[in-house]
């Protein structure tokens, strides 16, 4: 299933090299045969269940070499005779949050087909690859359109205020990217009400989250001009 997925998506076997000071894509050919049927099947590592999080962290923390590849790798651990953990790691240059949803859905379908647990039709052949989209985008932005769009955002985002939010330590002079995350489940009735409000008022759930965040930030800062950011796919084609 992984072999078929990698064969299907050129991005998963693309390397990025420097040529005359500019990046260039090199799309490697698909693997000759599925690893599971080769002389050297993929290694299954025995990992105790209580150590699986550490093992996963090690897999996702290994750096990539964009020039030599691969930019997509898989690792498999057995934590019990009938319980395994598969880790897929892709560099952000070839996959994002939207892509992950596509890859996991397709891998599930391919695995079901390999195990004979489905009678669904095979995945349709892809007519467009990321390199095609990159070429289209470059052609579109090679003229004054790129300058026009860049100027628009330079003007729109000029003189943004800093949110004076109280913190437990000084803001660094330069962003470091260091940080952490925390998880806190919300009550079921609250999430149900939020979804209902979104449907009734024809807004996205993201807009409701933004409203809550902006309300909290306003309470702490007293500011009414509060710049915040969101990750949006921006896609207009499937």
86-113 pLDDT, tens digit per residue, is 999 999 999 988 889 999 999 999 999 9
pLDDT tens per residue across span 45-54: 999 999 999 9
pLDDT of residue 238: 63
Please, which residues bridge with residue 25 across strands? 16
Cα–Cα distance measured from residue 97 to residue 101, given in angstroms and rounded to the nearest whole number: 7
pLDDT of residue 39: 47
| Full residue range of the structural domain in which residue 83 is found | 2-126
Domain count, the chain: 2
Q: Are residues 104 and 192 in the same domain?
A: no
Other beta carbons within 10 angstroms of residue 14's beta carbon come to 22
Give the residue among 198, 219, 218 at the shortest CA–CA distance from 207: 198
Q: Are residues 17 and 99 in the same domain?
A: yes
Q: Are residues 114 and 199 in the same domain?
A: no
Extract the tokens encoding 115.
């195990």
Q: Are residues 198 and 82 in the same domain?
A: no
Q: What band does 164 get if pLDDT is binned at 50, 70 and 90?
A: confident
Q: Are residues 121 and 192 in the same domain?
A: no
What's this model's pTM, rounded to 2 decimal places? 0.71
Which CATH number characterizes residue 61's domain?
3.30.559.10
> Averaged over 50-61, what is the pLDDT?
95
Q: Are residues 84 and 11 in the same domain?
A: yes
Extract the tokens encoding 21.
């000071």
Q: Are residues 10 and 95 in the same domain?
A: yes
Q: Are residues 94 and 189 in the same domain?
A: no
The yes-or-no verdict on residue 40 having pLDDT over 60 is: no
pLDDT of residue 92: 94
The answer to whether residue 34 sits within a structural domain is yes
Q: Quick one: angle between helices 130-141 and 144-156, nearest 10? A: 80
For residues 114 and 1, is the Cβ–Cβ distance under 8 A?
A: yes
Which is more confidently placed, 227 or 120? 227
The answer to whether residue 57 sits within a structural domain is yes
Task: Find the range with the poorest average confidence among 130-139, 162-171, 206-215.
Answer: 162-171
The answer to whether residue 104 sits within a structural domain is yes
């Amino acid at each position: 299933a992984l072999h078929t997925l990698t064969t299907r998506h050129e991005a998963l076997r693309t390397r990025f090299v420097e040529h005359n000071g500019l990046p260039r894509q090199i799309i490697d050919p698909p693997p000759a045969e599925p690893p599971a049927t080769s002389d050297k099947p993929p290694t299954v590592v025995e990992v105790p269940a209580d150590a699986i999080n550490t093992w996963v962290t090690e897999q996702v923390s290994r750096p990539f070499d964009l020039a030599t590849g691969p930019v997509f790798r898989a690792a498999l651990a057995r934590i019990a005779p009938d319980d395994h953990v598969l880790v897929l790691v892709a560099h952000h240059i070839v996959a994002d949050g939207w892509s992950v949803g596509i890859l996991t859905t397709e891998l599930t379908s391919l695995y079901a087909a390999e195990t004979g647990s489905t009678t669904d039709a095979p995945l349709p052949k892809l007519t467009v690859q990321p390199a095609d989209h990159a070429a289209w985008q470059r052609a579109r932005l090679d003229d004054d359109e790129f300058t026009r769009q860049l100027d628009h955002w330079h003007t729109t985002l000029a003189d943004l205020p800093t949110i004076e939010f109280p913190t437990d330590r000084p803001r660094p002079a330069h962003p470091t990217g260091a940080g952490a995350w925390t998880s806190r489940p919300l009550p079921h009735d609250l999430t149900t009400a939020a979804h209902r409000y979104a449907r009734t008022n024809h807004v996205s759930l993201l807009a409701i989250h933004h409203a809550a965040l902006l309300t909290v930030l306003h309470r702490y800062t007293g500011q009414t001009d509060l710049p915040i950011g969101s990750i949006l796919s921006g896609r207009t084609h499937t």
